[in-house]
Amino acid sequence: MHETIVFMLSTQIIWLFVLAIPIACVAWTVTHEEIFSGMRAYCTRQSKENRSPFLRKCFYMLTCEYCFSHYVTIFFLIITGYTLLFSGWRGYLIAGFALVWIANLYMSIFALLRQAIKAEKTKIELEEKIIDGQQQTADKNRISPGKRSLLKKTLMGDHWKDI
């Protein structure tokens, strides 16, 4: 009997981490990606300008990935019947909060990854512009061979070695 409980718990944990992936995917797509930008702009405007405080909060919940992930989680709990640790309403409640937490962890990791990739692309583009600009300047001024080696060291980052 003990092995059955452990097996069921390990299966539940696997389901937790797997089921959080589509929850994170849907919540991120709706709240961040370009395909939903029109709806998101409308909801953002309504969350700031609507006269009803209740409707402002409702529209805000559609623009926040954390808030929206709760609704996506409820949808996935209904269609899968997934429970965690207990059967019945207690299992749904624990599963709901655990799924939201894991899904938001996935979204945070994804956001950090996208930010790092974007920063690296921007850095590369800037370095290419600097190198192209310096090469054009060097070609215009017809730098002597000695100065060319200094320019090459500067571009390669070796100019501090001679100091």
pLDDT in tens, the chain (163 residues): 445 554 588 889 999 999 999 999 999 999 888 888 888 889 889 889 889 889 888 888 888 888 899 999 999 999 999 999 888 899 999 999 999 999 999 999 998 998 999 889 888 888 888 887 777 766 666 655 555 555 555 555 554 455 4
Q: How far apart are the first and last CA of the chain?
A: 74
What is the DSSP code (8-state) at residue 85? Answer: S
**Whole-angstrom Cα distance, residue 108 to residue 140?**
48
Which residues, other chains included, contact 63 with Cβ-Cβ below 8 Å and sequence gap of 6+? 31, 40, 43, 44, 47
**Whole-angstrom Cα distance, residue 130 to residue 155?**
9
Q: What is the DSSP string of 28-73?
A: HHHHHSGGGHHHHHHHHHHHHH-S-HHHHHHHHHTT-HHHHHHHHH
For 88, the token pair is: 């019945």
- The ranges assigned to domains in the chain are 2-156
Give yes or no for a contact between 96 and 74, defined as CB atoms under 8 angstroms apart: yes
- Global confidence as pTM: 0.68
